[in-house]
Amino acid sequence: MKPWIALLFVCSLPGYAQDTEEPTVRFATFNTSLNRGKQGQLLDDLKKGNDQAHSVAEIIQRVRPDVVLLNEFDYDPSGKVVTYFKAHYLNVPHGQAEPIEYAFQYTGPVNTGVPSGRDLNKNGKTTDPNDCYGYGAFPGQYGMVVLSRFPFDEKGIRTFQKLLWKHMPDADLPIDPATKKPYYSDEDLNHFRLSSKSHWDLPIRIGESTTHFLVSHPTPPAFDGPEDRNGCRNHDEIRLWADYISPTRSGYIYDDTGGRGGLKTGQSFVIAGDLNADPRDGGSRDNAIQQLLKHPLVADRAPNNEGGVRQAKQDGKANEAHKGAPKFDTSNFSDRVVGNLRADYVLPSKNLGGGRSGIFWPIPGTPGAGLVNCSDHRLVWIDIAINSAATMQEK
């Protein structure tokens, strides 16, 4: 397909977003909170008609991303849950929001709820959700889904579910402050996977160009002890993408089929997900997110919205001590403990041009304001210019 033909094709897509003189593709991330306590429960809820899922669908329909990552969407190996959600929620109108169709989808296994056989939280048992490779009550809880209007380069898809934490050079492994010794034994680390869910590199074909959609959902840097084991893991889960996009630092990385290394010089990417790390507030370790925000290849367009400002003012408490501006918040967490934070990111490579970016957080009294209560996170989106993407050819 010739580049100008590809451009015409993209411009003809329904719901196509164009905010600059160049055509754009909208990338988004949304922690939907569509997780359930038992395996199979999400599909049962969807079949009964679920208000939370209808609100999630309407938000997606209002923003109309061309490519969207859904975090905390329980994984189903059969694919029935995603198919049902598309057919009975996204493909039907909600109020004034028109249906939206995604021809392509990707989901896969994650580490949450997968037993490790090890006592990882040191309580004398090996059967707790905390003893799984990623915290979870069953395999696939808090899973991930990517929906796209553009095809995946399926042969180029890479997953990093089983990469061991100890294989990251100079890994930020936790130390027990009482003994000054490693918190995890050598035998623990022989099994311990770095990713709490998974890390996926999904190459997406847009015309004749390819953009690598790099998605993940690192563990929150909380719910642990003085050893800060989750804070350490969150830091290194974020670091994995920082290394992956850096050809001089990615040699140690191996995917689930044994392929090694990361992206090549000049390849375009968009990093997305609930990364559970705020640049200025919260319990993030060593300002973990700056590994991406200050990376020389990453562009941070810092989406913002007035809804976050209103919410922080209304909630008060922990929010009053925050250093970061609430207009950048993407989550509405407990105001007694941590307050609202910037936790969700869509970060393109600097070689991609673009238009607008935003956070779906309508102020009270405006259309869609009541929808956001479906999750404690907000949908975050950016627009990428096709012309700029089309000039970056895979080498």
Q: What is the pLDDT of residues 227-266, one digit of tens each?
A: 999 999 999 999 999 999 999 999 999 999 999 999 999 9
User: Smallest Cα–Cα separation from 330: which of 347, 312, 348?
Assistant: 312
Percent of the chain with pLDDT over 70: 92
The dihedral region occupied by 48, where left means phi > 0, alpha psi between -120 and 50, and beta the remainder, is alpha
Domain membership of residue 287 (yes or no) is yes
In a domain, 70, yes or no: yes
CB 200, CB 159: distance < 8 Å? yes
pLDDT above 80: residue 350: yes
* 212 in any annotated domain: yes
Report which of 273, 368, 311 is spatially closest to residue 57, judged by C-alpha positions.
Answer: 368
User: What was the pLDDT predicted at 392?
Assistant: 40
Average pLDDT over residues 266-272: 97
Q: Are 218 and 277 in contact (CB under 8 A)?
A: yes
Q: Is residue 395 part of a domain?
A: no
Which range marks the domain in which residue 225 is found?
A: 3-390
CATH number where 23 lies: 3.60.10.10
What backbone phi and psi angles, to 5 degrees, belong to 363? Answer: -75, 155
Q: Average pLDDT, stretch 205-217?
A: 96
Q: Evaluate whether residue 303 is within a structural domain.
A: yes
Q: Is it the case that residue 390 has pLDDT exceeding 70?
A: no
In a domain, 306, yes or no: yes
Helix, strand or coil, per DSSP, at residue 32: strand
- pTM confidence score: 0.93
30: nearest Cα among 273, 348, 382: 273
> Quick one: pLDDT band at residue 204, thresholds 50, 70, 90?
very high
pLDDT at 21: 56
Please, which pLDDT band fits residue 387 given cuts at 50, 70 and 90?
Answer: low
Mean pLDDT of 124-153: 97
Q: What is the β-pairing status of strands 175-176 and 181-182?
A: antiparallel
**pLDDT at residue number 4:** 31
Total structural domains in the chain?
Answer: 1
